[in-house]
Amino acid sequence: MRPRIIINAAMSVDGKIALRGGKRIKISDEEDFRRVHELRNSVDAILVGINTVILDNPKLLVKERYVKSPRNPVRVVLDSHLRIPEDARVLDGNAPTIIITTEDARERKLNAEIIKCGKGRVDLKCAMEKLYSLGIRSVLVEGGGTVIYSFLKEKLVDEISVFVGSIIIGGDAPTLAEGLGASSEDELIHLKLLEARALGSGVLLRYGVVYD
């Protein structure tokens, strides 16, 4: 058994989720931030990859500015070799944090629960089963592109929400889905459009994933 898995991200019109080199950029506007914080408040866990922690250092909390009496879901980081910096904001103790790592990781004392799943790179199916066994029934995957693509390739995604901000970044900045990508048509990931609506200065797209 696994939790329900929702991907949420903000991208430019050309599909980029950060500046060239991976520097964070604000793509969402106030309307979208409100939607994201309401979505965060509705799930049991918010998950990101270790590169997002290193590059963006997010708190992954629900802001009171957007949600009255926030629940602050569990924060989950995929970090195969426990590279997380000690002063990462997700380790601030303001919400429970789980770091999912592998058998290869050296022992470290961190302000988080540490779970091991797989060797080399975190085994996502094992990770989702372990989260389920801890009572986590829904996970919001917030990025980055490498983690998003892995979840899609492993056929673990139930829904995708993408806010498309009215900007173009261009060049080789990180995209919504990184990883190896498809080199043939049969490797494509097919989506079903559930909703498309104007939101603030951009567009919100919501998809289901069609797995055969």
Decide: is 139 part of the binding site for ligand NAP (CB under 6 A): no
What sign results for the dihedral spanned by CA atoms 4, 8, 13, 15? negative
- What are the structure tokens assigned to 32, written together? 């979208």
Pick out residues in 36-95 that bind ligand NAP (CB under 6 A): 48-52, 55-56, 78-81, 83
Near ligand NAP by CB under 6 A: residue from 143, 160, 161, 209 = 143
Nearest Cα neighbor of 144 from 11, 51, 61 is 51
Pick between residue 24 and residue 192 the one whose CB is nearest to ligand NAP. 24
Mark 99-119 as b/e (b = at least 16 C-beta within 10 Å). bbbbeebeeeebebebbbbbe
Near ligand NAP by CB under 6 A: residue from 91, 147, 156, 205 = 147
- Give the per-residue contact string, 94-133, with ligand NAP (x = CB under 6 A; - = no): ---------------------------xx-x---------
**Helix, strand, or coil (residue 44):** coil
In angstroms, the Cα distances linking 105 to 69, 91, 116, 150, 163 are 37, 18, 9, 20, 35
Pick out residues in 171-210 that bind ligand NAP (CB under 6 A): 174, 178
Pick between residue 179 and residue 185 the one whose CB is nearest to ligand NAP. 179
Pick between residue 44 and residue 56 the one whose CB is nearest to ligand NAP. 56
Near ligand NAP by CB under 6 A: residue from 5, 40, 140, 142 = 142
Report yes or no: 157 and 5 within 8 Å, Cβ to Cβ. yes
Decide: is 6 part of the binding site for ligand NAP (CB under 6 A): no
Decide: is 10 part of the binding site for ligand NAP (CB under 6 A): yes
